[in-house]
Amino acid sequence: MNWDQIQGKWTQFKGSARQKWGKLTDDDLDQIAGRRETLVGKIQERYGIMKEEAQKRADEWCAALQDAHTPAHAHEQHAGRR
């Protein structure tokens, strides 16, 4: 999953973002619209953390979405190539 995909399918991923960052409001989520930098800024603002930490958390969430939306057989195929 990359940020272009998240932005393109934001309505699908908004619920996951809401679960991950409960302090984000519906208005925040609407403003974010899948844009990484906007998400990072809102996380930073709502949670009072440094930009680097907010970026790390946003990227970890993006990676978790990748894992959640990759079919199990793709993981098995990838593991077999090592």
- CATH among 1.10.3720.10, 3.30.390.50, 1.10.1470.10, 3.90.700.10 for 3-68: 1.10.1470.10
The answer for residues whose C-beta is within 8 angstroms of residue 28's C-beta and 6 or more apart is: 42, 46
* 16 class by beta-carbon count within 10 Å (0-12 exposed, 13-18 middle, 19+ buried): middle
Cα-flanking dihedrals φ and ψ of residue 55, to 5°?
-65, -45
- Residue ranges per structural domain of the chain: 3-68
Residue 81's pLDDT is 47
Q: What is the pLDDT of residues 4-60, one digit of tens each?
A: 999 999 999 999 999 999 999 999 999 999 999 999 999 999 999 999 999 999 999
